Amino acid sequence: MLGSVRPVAALSLATVCVLALAACGSSGGGTSTDTSTAASSASTGQSLAGQTVTVYSGQHEQTVKALAADFEKRTGVKVELRSGDEAELANQILQEGKASPADVFYAENPPALTVLEEQGLLAPVQPDTLKSVPAEDSSPKGDWVGVSARTAAFLAAEGKGADTAPPASVRDLAKPEWKGRLGIAPSETDFAPIVTRMIKTDGADAARQWLLGLKANAKSYGSNEDLSAAINSGEVEGGVIDHYYFYRLRDEKTTAQTHSKLHYFAKSDPGALIDVSGAGALKSGKHQQAAQAFLGYLASAPAQTLIATSESYEYPLVAGVKAKAELPVLDTIGSVASVADLGDGKEALQLLQDTGLLA
């Protein structure tokens, strides 16, 4: 199976800010950054070949390794890659402060980036890089750039009631009729953004009751991979995942052994959440020009094409780069979630802990 970010560990409330995640993406943007300019200093035109940039990455490891290798080939800049859980990496940067060896932080979800931004640890992204993707997919302050997108969906065991009569809304999963039929992965980094969306749309009290309903109805799994496998085997009828877990499961199991199907919630539903990955350069980084070049590369057509054609099954953000044909058009699924609304994820994590879904 494709390497992926592991579930978020339950952290203390001092570090909850780096746990939750979500903002939205779009399938098109502005003009892509030319990687030939990414190979040189924007201010002097001096070649960056031979330099090293250290990237802390909470994104999917195999895809990021491929991106790093392509960047090295194109620019001559060596990439030191440190992959791990985005919450733990963000917390590590907070603890390391100005002594952090990180030049770039590449996160699966915006809240971890928002935390570093609020602490003043991120440097402004070069304007040409920001122009390469839709403005709503990056930091409103310009401190990090959106890279790729994914969407939440309901995965159902084929032929079961969850498949023939899927939930009309993610809210329905808290109803008594789903008791014993549902699976959830509350410690996954992909789950907290849905809780944040519920808080924004329905209020904190309603979101709390919804989580209590899920707790009563569902069997908990440690990861979306485990949840997807349980649904595919019929152990549970369905559950909410990010869309790409289904496609990766299918690739691993083969089509003949895939016994599950994706269903998407209506655009206005809290479950119709599109999320973006993003990357920013650390102010304290010792290789500022190389870091900006790496950000520019991530927002370029070559990198976006690599993402779009990889086994990660994510959506590219740069205009003219198409997602895999089997993926539904992103704009038909949902709208961009405000980065400001998604915030740092503290409130969502607090509710998950208060309801006992996280320790």
Question: Both 48 and 140 in a single domain?
Answer: yes
Tell me which residue of 266, 240, 248, 214 sits closest to 156, measured CA to CA. Answer: 240
Q: Residues 252-274: what's their mean pLDDT?
A: 94
Confidence of residue 8 (pLDDT cuts 50, 70, 90): very low
Percentage of the chain beyond pLDDT 70 is 87
**What would the two tokens of residue 122 be?**
């991120």
pLDDT band of 265, cuts 50, 70, 90: very high
Does position 7 have pLDDT exceeding 50, yes or no? Answer: no
- pLDDT computed for residue 111 by the predictor: 87
pLDDT in tens, 107-136: 998 888 999 999 999 999 999 999 999 999
Average pLDDT over residues 265-275: 92
Parallel/antiparallel/unpaired status of strands 52-57 and 78-83: parallel
Q: Provide the CB-side half-sphere exposure for 119 (13 A, CA).
A: 22
176 has pLDDT over 80 = yes
In this structure, are 199 and 303 located in the same domain? no
Same domain, 202 and 122: no
Please indicate, yes or no, whether residues 77 and 37 belong to a single structural domain of this protein.
yes
Domain boundary among the residues 208, 241, 273 is at: 273
pLDDT at site 189: 82
Average pLDDT score over residue span 161-186? 97
The CATH number linked to 292 is 3.40.190.10
Q: What is the token pair recorded at 154? A: 């309901």
Q: Last residue of a domain, which of 243, 273, 303?
A: 273
Report the range of poorest mean pLDDT among 16-30, 49-63, 80-94, 307-321.
16-30
What's the whole-number mean pLDDT along residues 242-268? 95
C-alpha dihedral sign at 38, 41, 46, 51:
negative
User: Is residue 356 a part of any domain in this protein?
Assistant: no
Asked if the model's pLDDT at residue 324 lies above 60, the reply is yes
Residue 229 — very low, low, confident or very high, per pLDDT cuts 50/70/90? very high
Number of domains in the chain: 2
When pLDDT is cut at 50, 70 and 90, the band that residue 46 belongs to is low
**How would you write the chain as a 3-class SS string?**
CCCCCCCCCCCCCCCHHHCCCCCCCCCCCCCCCCHHHHCECCCCCCECCCCEEEEEECCCHHHHHHHHHHHHHHHCCEEEEEECCHHHHHHHHHHHHHHCCCCEEEECCHHHHHHHHHCCCEECCCHHHHCCCCHHHCCCCCCCEEEEEEEEEEEEECCCHHHHCCCCCHHHHHCHHHCCCEEECCCCCCCHHHHHHHHHHHCHHHHHHHHHHHHHHEEECCCHHHHHHHHHHCCCCEEEEECHHHHHHHHHHCHHHCCEEEECCCCCCCCCCEEEEEEEEECCCCCHHHHHHHHHHHCCHHHHHHHHHCCCCCEECCCCCCCCCCCCCHHHCCCCCCHHHHCCCHHHHHHHHHCCCCC
pLDDT at 143 over 50: yes
Per-residue model confidence (pLDDT) at position 16: 40
For residue 144, being part of any structural domain is answered with yes
What's the whole-model pTM score? 0.86
Is residue 249 pLDDT above 70, yes or no? yes
Residues 327 and 204 in one domain: no
Q: Please write the tens of the pLDDT for every residue from 10-36.
A: 333 334 443 333 333 333 344 444 444
Domain that holds residue 323: 16-148+277-347
Q: Do residue 77 and residue 137 come from a single domain?
A: yes
Last residue of a domain, one of 242, 273, 304: 273
